[in-house]
Chain A
Amino acid sequence: MIRFEGAAKRHPDGTVAVRGLDLDVPAGRTTVLVGPSGCGKTTILRMVNRMVVPTGGRVLLDGADVATLPAAQLRRGIGYVIQQAGLFPHRRVIDNVATVPRLLGWDRKRARARAAELLELVGLPPETARRYPAQLSGGQQQRVGVARALAADPPVLLMDEPFSAVDPLVRAGLQEELLRLQAELGKTVLFVTHDIEEAVRLGDRVVVLREHGEIAQLADPHTLLTAPADAGVAAFLGRDRGLRGLGLRPAADVPLAKLEPVHDGWQLTLDQDGRPEHWLHDGQRHPVPVFAPARDTLRSALDAAVLSPSGHAVAVDADGRAIGTASRAAVVAALAAPGTPEPDAHDSGPPESDAHESGAHESGAHGSGAQVNHAGR
């Protein structure tokens, strides 16, 4: 566990980076520090491995003041991942990853064997081992950076905006990978980002910081999005936070209706494997928005329902085969009952506006949606 006790950093010119932080970072969990640039989050992170020495207070790692540990020894026990990966340009990928084990005195063969394991763990193909960093894409370099940080199996991982410099698609992949890794490894992760989306996606706990490293709110992501501590935090969370909160809830909460050949006058066609092909209406083909209850979020389910021309989102399994449908009404009803199966399909308060909004070209969508819902029980 990492504990900050009144940890402060005042620069020699008198400016205050961090006024005095009290924070416990629990072991085996991911704690995200998020805040605008200049809020001191990177400074806080670097106090842990003594890249920044506090001018007041102290930082404890498993009860020991980090100031009392030799810097090199301390740092070799803490993984550190930064935005531009910071790989050594003159070393092959495998030797980059083997750096810390080598520093710890492992022989080359053992260090490289360990490095090869790590490359596999972060999802890099074996042939990347012999390459030089300049021959990799940004996303691959970041993976190598993560592998290098994990090479000596440190209990603590510090990550400073590690995914900020890669494009959004790659970033989403890396975030997913980190979640998977963390589920497997259970490190004590302290993660810094300015991106609130990333914070709520990755964090078990999110610490929202304002200027001088003051904690504006410390909460789990769902609480943060649904109950911001004050107007400042709400503003930082941005618009649509209710909607974004749905991104934290599983799509499995949506009750599915049985697949019918025709929904409200829209015919759903499937290919021979049972994958959705088209919505047919008046001889016109329309695309079929889908969601996968097993891995998607409520937000995806709602999105699919909103986008669907028929007003019914199609649920698919891992292979893309249709397994059921959910009307807009059913999805919205699921939103109202967080985490539990929606008990009463007649409770159609919220869906009214939905039906109204789309009523012009989907007469009766609401009513029959509710019925399909019954059928799904």
Chain B
Amino acid sequence: MLDGEPLVRWHWLGDHLGYLAGLTGDHAVIALVPVLIGLLLAVPLGLACTRWPRLYQPLAAVFNVVYALPSLAVFVVLIPYTGLATRETVMVPLTFYALAVLLPTTVDGLRAVPEPVRQAATAMGYGPWHRLAAVELPAAVPYLIAGLRVAAVSSISLAAVGALIGRGGLGYLFVDGFQRTFPTPILAGIVLVALLALVCDLLLVAARRLLAPWATGVAR
């Protein structure tokens, strides 16, 4: 950085509190709405893959390939369809990335139910779908939340890249800081991204305690 330029100009932070809060909110929406949509898709897809196991391998392969694509390249490919600097351009790929993490964890969770539990359920008169919904899905909650923790944190990190095409919440602080060789916004961005990820993770841990109190020390 420039000689004489301090690492942090505290008054800049003080002057831009509202701006920083706005970027953080924007970042949270861009990063986390795709994770939620990913979850809403992963659960039915996971149930279907458990009911009809042949579905799983091809679906998992598709999402793995998508996951391997560099995010920036995907943003650029999407621009003609969703437009430059729109939220959708960033959120569509993030949804696929989230799904790539959540589908395997959902399927693993549904399959993690021990065979005797499945048999006992069947013997008590649960049909296949009823059993999936009432027994296997609740038992998969700890797995789902473990998957959500990975998906949420990686989505928060990936969303920053969206700043390179004009959207991306806190990512804008990095672009701005580099262009102006002004380190304060860069540091603010790093700290806020980390904080956002931390808060999300803590919320998910709390959700697990609430939704799966039985799983303390049982699954991840």
Contact: B117 with A86, CB < 8 Å? yes
Which residues of chain A from 128 to 170 have any CB-CB distance to chain B below 8 Å in the complex? 132-134, 145, 148, 158
Which of B117, B121, B125, B126 has the most chain A CB atoms closer than 10 A to its own CB? B125
Q: Provide the residues of chain B in CB contact with A100, threshold 8 Å.
A: 124-125
Contact: A75 with B117, CB < 8 Å? no
Contact: A90 with B124, CB < 8 Å? no
- With contacts A132-B214, A134-B214, A134-B218 known, is A89 near B123, CB below 8 A? no
Give the contacting residue for A51; candidates B119, B127, B141; CB below 8 A. B119
Contact: B119 with A75, CB < 8 Å? no
Contact: B121 with A84, CB < 8 Å? no
Q: Provide the residues of chain B in CB contact with A49, threshold 8 Å.
A: 123
Smallest CB–CB gap between B109 and chain A, Å? 11
Smallest CB–CB gap between B212 and chain A, Å? 7
Which residues of chain B from 198 to 220 have any CB-CB distance to chain A below 8 Å in the complex? 212-215, 218
- Docked pose: A75 CA to B127 CA in angstroms: 11
Decide yes or no whether A269 CB sits under 8 A from chain B: no
Digitize A163-199: 1 where CB-to-B-CB distance is under 8 Å, 0 elsewhere.
0000000000000000000000000000000000000
Decide yes or no whether A337 CB sits under 8 A from chain B: no
Assign chain A's interface to a size class.
20 to 34
Q: Provide the residues of chain B in CB contact with A73, threshold 8 Å.
A: 125
- Docked pose: A82 CA to B126 CA in angstroms: 16
Assign chain B's interface to a size class.
20 to 34
- Docked pose: A84 CA to B127 CA in angstroms: 21
Contact: B122 with A90, CB < 8 Å? no
B112 and chain A: residue at smallest CB distance: A89
- With contacts A84-B114, A84-B116 known, is A90 near B138, CB below 8 A? yes
Give the contacting residue for A72; candidates B117, B127, B141; CB below 8 A. B127
Contact: A89 with B125, CB < 8 Å? no
Give the contacting residue for B124; candidates A80, A84, A132; CB below 8 A. A80
Contact: B122 with A51, CB < 8 Å? yes
- Docked pose: A99 CA to B120 CA in angstroms: 11
- Docked pose: A73 CA to B126 CA in angstroms: 10
- With contacts A85-B116, A89-B117, A90-B139 known, is A80 near B218, CB below 8 A? no
Contact: A76 with B124, CB < 8 Å? yes
Contact: B119 with A88, CB < 8 Å? no
Smallest CB–CB gap between B121 and chain A, Å? 7
Decide yes or no whether B135 CB sits under 8 A from chain A: yes
A72 and chain B: residue at smallest CB distance: B125
- Docked pose: A26 CA to B80 CA in angstroms: 76
Contact: A99 with B117, CB < 8 Å? no
Smallest CB–CB gap between B5 and chain A, Å? 56
- Docked pose: A251 CA to B124 CA in angstroms: 41
B140 and chain A: residue at smallest CB distance: A90
Decide yes or no whether A83 CB sits under 8 A from chain B: yes
Which of B124, B135, B212, B215 has the most chain A CB atoms closer than 10 A to its own CB? B124
- With contacts A86-B117, A86-B119 known, is A99 near B124, CB below 8 A? yes
- With contacts A83-B116, A134-B214, A134-B218 known, is A88 near B125, CB below 8 A? no
Q: Provide the residues of chain A in CB contact with B124, threshold 8 Å.
A: 75-76, 80, 99-100, 103, 148
Which of A71, A87, A89, A100 has the most chain B CB atoms closer than 10 A to its own CB? A89
- Docked pose: A49 CA to B213 CA in angstroms: 33
Q: Provide the residues of chain A in CB contact with B121, threshold 8 Å.
A: 86, 88
- Docked pose: A124 CA to B139 CA in angstroms: 25
Digitize B141-183: 1 where CB-to-A-CB distance is under 8 Å, 0 elsewhere.
1000000000000000000000000000000000000000000
Give the contacting residue for A82; candidates B116, B135, B141, B214; CB below 8 A. B116
Which residues of chain A from 240 to 276 have any CB-CB distance to chain B below 8 Å in the complex? none
- Docked pose: A154 CA to B136 CA in angstroms: 25
Smallest CB–CB gap between A59 and chain B, Å? 15
Q: Provide the residues of chain B in CB contact with A72, threshold 8 Å.
A: 125-127
Contact: A75 with B123, CB < 8 Å? yes
Contact: B116 with A89, CB < 8 Å? no
Contact: A103 with B125, CB < 8 Å? yes
- Docked pose: A90 CA to B219 CA in angstroms: 12
Digitize A10-23: 1 where CB-to-B-CB distance is under 8 Å, 0 elsewhere.
00000000000000
Smallest CB–CB gap between A29 and chain B, Å? 22
Digitize A97-110: 1 where CB-to-B-CB distance is under 8 Å, 0 elsewhere.
00110010000000
Smallest CB–CB gap between B137 and chain A, Å? 9
- Docked pose: A369 CA to B218 CA in angstroms: 61
Q: Provide the residues of chain B in CB contact with A75, threshold 8 Å.
A: 122-125
Q: Which 5 A-B pairs have the closest CB atoms?
A: A86-B120, A86-B116, A80-B123, A132-B214, A72-B125
Q: What are 25 A-B pairs with beta-carbon distances under 8 A? A: A51-B119, A51-B123, A71-B127, A73-B125, A74-B125, A75-B123, A75-B125, A82-B120, A82-B123, A83-B116, A85-B120, A86-B117, A87-B120, A88-B121, A89-B214, A89-B215, A90-B135, A90-B214, A99-B124, A100-B124, A100-B125, A103-B124, A132-B213, A148-B124, A158-B123
